[in-house]
Amino acid sequence: MHIQLMTDGGSDLPAAYQEQYNVTIVPLNIYFGDQQYVSGVDLDIATFYRKMKEEDELPRSSAPSPHSFYEAYKEVDKDKPIVMFALSKELSTTHDNALIARDMLLEEEPDRNIVVLNTKTATSGMSLLIDEAGRQIKNGMTIEQLIPHMEERIEKTSTLFILRTVENLIKGGRLDRVKGAIAKTLNIKLLMKASEEGTIEVAEKVRGNKKAMRRFVDQIGEYTHSFENKVLALSYSTTEQAAAKLVQEMKDRYGFQDTMLMEMGPLCATYAGEGGYVMSFFHD
Please tell me the CATH code under which domain 157-282 is placed: 3.30.1180.10
Q: What is the pLDDT of residues 246-274, one digit of tens each?
A: 999 999 999 999 999 999 988 788 777 67
Percent of the chain at pLDDT > 70 equals 91
Residues in the chain, total: 284
Complete DSSP assignment for 120-164? S--HHHHHHHHHHHHHHHHTT--HHHHHHHHHHHHHTEEEEEEES
Half-sphere exposure for 279 (CA within 13 Å, toward CB): 22
pTM recorded for the entire structure: 0.91
Percent of the chain at pLDDT > 90 equals 62
Superfamily of domain 4-28+63-155: Dihydroxyacetone kinase; domain 1 (3.40.50.10440)
Q: What is the pLDDT of residues 168-218, one digit of tens each?
A: 555 555 445 544 444 454 466 778 888 899 887 878 888 888 898 999 999
Q: How many C-beta neighbours within 10 Å does residue 189 have?
A: 24
Q: For the chain, what are the domain ranges?
A: 4-28+63-155, 157-282
| pLDDT number for residue 187 | 63
User: Helices 240-254 & 209-218, crossing angle to 10 degrees?
Assistant: 40
Instruction: Show Cβ contacts of residue 90 under 8 Å, excluding neighbours closer than 6 positions.
Output: 120, 197, 198, 199
